[in-house]
Amino acid sequence: MATQRHDETDTVEPEGDGGGGERPLPPYPPNLGHPTLHMVRQMQDTLAFGERAHRFEDVVRTRLVGQGDIFHLGHPEHVKRVLLAEREKFRKSSDFGTAFGEGLLTVEGEEWQQQRDALQPLFTRDRVMTYADGMVEQMQRRVRRWEDGDRMDLQSEFTDMTLDVLFATILGRELDVDGDDRLRTAAEDLHEWFVPTSYLLPEWVPTPARRRFREGKATIREEADRLLDERAGDAPANPTEADDLLSLLVGLRESGMVEDTGMLTDERLRDQMVTIIFAGHDTTTTSLTFACWALANNPEVKARFQAEVDRLDGPPTADDVADLEVTDRVVTETLRLYPPVYALPRVTTEPVVMDGYRIPSPRRVVLPFRQIQRDERFFEDPDEFRPSRWDGDLRSELHNFAYAPFGGGPRICIGREFALLEAKLALATIGQQFDLYWLGENDADGEPPTAPEMTLRMEQGQEFLVTER
C-alpha cells in the first residue's frame, strides 16, 4: 500500500499552479539534496529518506523525476483530516484499481459503501471470534512439522500459514499443507506489481515482475472462478447469514442482491476474491515475522510472553484471547514500530491547505505511518520495542491518529479484528511449543534488515533457529 508508482490519471501540473491562493508550496527538505536526486536517494534507502524528509517540518514535498511532486503529511492531525474530517478532498490513487480491479480496497463513493456493508458481517468482532478454532487448527497443522533445531525463514513460513488460515476460514477451502504451490506462488506474485522497478517505468513496459503479477492474478482468478462455481447452488438464501466470503458472494449473486451491492458481474466477484487474498495475508505475515524478531531480540519481554502462554491449558482458544495481555501488547508494539502499511497514499481532489502550505490538486499525498508512530512528540524513546508502554493510559492519551497501523476513518481496515486475532493466536501457538532465536544480522542501529516494498517486510532469506521448549 506504500506505493508511489506513476499514476496516469494523477496528472502532473506545471510547478506552482493548482489553486490555493497565494500560499507557498511546502518546502523540499534541505537535507535531501536537489529535488532531481530525490528519486535516486529514495531508491537507495526508502526508510531513511522518509525519516529525513520530516526532520524539520511536518508538511514537505519531494519529487520523482518526470512524475512530479509528492506531498508528505507527517502529523496525526493531517492523517485525521485526510482519512476522516476532510476525506471528500482525497481519493485513492489508481494504482490499486489498475492492479486489482473493482474490489473493496479500490472502489470509491456509493459503490464502496455498498460493498463494505455487504462484506462487513464477515468481519465483526463476534464473527471473527468464531474463526478462532479454525485458525488454531491451521497453525497447529503447520507448526507440527517444525523440529527442534530447525533453521527457518519465518517470513516464508508465515506466508504459508496466513494463506492456510485465510483459505480455511474466510474462503472455506482448506489448502494442502504441502502442496497448492501454484496458488501460493500466485498469491505472493500479487505483490510484484508494486516492486520499485515497476513504479519507475510506464505501465506498458513488460518487466519480469509485471509478468509474474499478471500470471499470479490470472491463477487466482481461475481459482476464484472454480470456487464460485463449486459453491453455486449451495449458498444460503439470505447472504447475510453466510459462513464465509465465498457463500456470501455466491449468495449475493444468486439472490439477485448483487446489483444492489455494485458487485454486478462475475468479474467483480473475482476482483473481490483477489482483493481479499492480496490484502489478507501479507500484512499479517510481516507483522508476525517482526513480532518474532522483537521477541527473539528482547529476552525480558520473551520471558513474560512465555510465562503468559504457559498458563494456558492447551492450545489457545477464543476464550483465552482476553487473557493474553502481554501477547496483545507485543502485537500492538510491533505494529507501531513495523507497520506493514508504512505509508498510505492518496490523491487530492481539490486544493487543500496544510500548516499554511498549499497543496494543489490533483496531487499525490503520503501519510507516513511509520514516521508518525516513531515520533518522539508522541512516544517516549520511540525507537525502543517496549510493549509495556501500552499498559497504562497511553492509548486514551494519544492523538487518535498517532497510532494508525490499520488506517482510520470509514475506510479503516475491514480485516483488523481478523488480523489481530490471528496474530495473537499464532504467537501463542508457537510460543507454547517453541523458543525462537534470531540468526540474522541486525543493522548498525539495532534494527532488523528491512525491505520497504509494497508492505514493510523483513529482507528475504533471514533465518531464525527454533528449539523445542
Residue ranges binding ligand HEM (CB under 6 A):
1, 92, 104-105, 116, 170, 275-276, 279-280, 283-284, 287, 340-341, 344, 405-407, 411, 413-415, 418-419
Minimum distance between the CB of residue 416 and ligand HEM, rounded to whole angstroms?
Answer: 7
25 versus 335: smaller Cβ distance to ligand HEM: 335
Cβ-based nearer residue to ligand HEM, 41 or 116: 116
Q: How far is the CB of 342 from ligand HEM (least distance, A)?
A: 10
Beta-bridge partner residues of 365: 71, 346
In this complex, which beta carbon is closest to ligand HEM, that of residue 293 or of residue 406? Answer: 406
Nearer of residues 60 and 104 to ligand HEM, judged by Cβ: 104
Instruction: Select 194 or 418, whichever has its Cβ closest to ligand HEM.
Output: 418
Chain Cα centroid distance, residue 61: 24
Q: Which is nearer to ligand HEM, 52 or 116 (CB)?
A: 116
Q: Using CA atoms, how far apart are residues 328 and 353, in angstroms rounded to an integer?
A: 38
SS3 263: coil
Minimum CB separation of residue 438 from ligand HEM in Å reads 21
CB of 188 to ligand HEM, least distance (A): 16
- Buried-exposed string 276-287: b where 16+ CB fall within 10 A, e elsewhere: bbbbbbbbbbbb
For the chain, how big is the Rg over CA atoms in Å? 22
Is the peptide bond preceding residue 362 cis, with omega within 30 degrees of 0?
yes
Please give the grid coordinates belonging to residue 98.
Answer: 489498475
Q: Please, are residues 435 and 152 in contact by the beta-carbon 8 Å criterion?
A: no
- In whole angstroms, the minimum distance from the beta carbon of 335 to ligand HEM comes to 6
Tell me how far, at minimum, the Cβ of 406 lies from ligand HEM, in Å: 5
One DSSP character per residue, 421-449 reads HHHHHHHHHHHHHEEEEE-S---TTS---
State in angstroms the smallest separation of the CB of 413 from ligand HEM.
Answer: 3
Shortest approach of ligand HEM to residue 341 CB, angstroms? 4
Q: Which is nearer to ligand HEM, 49 or 112 (CB)?
A: 112
**Residues 101, 396: contact at Cβ < 8 Å?**
no
- Give the count of beta carbons closer than 10 Å to the beta carbon of residue 342: 25
Which residue's beta carbon is nearest to the bound ligand HEM? 415
State the cell numbers at 230: 463449486
Q: Which is nearer to ligand HEM, 211 or 395 (CB)?
A: 395
Query: 372-378: which pairs have CB atoms within 8 A and are 24 or more residues apart?
Result: 372/74, 372/75, 372/76, 372/79, 372/401, 372/402, 372/404, 373/336, 373/337, 373/339, 373/402, 373/403, 373/404, 373/405, 374/336, 374/337, 375/74, 375/402, 378/76, 378/402, 378/403
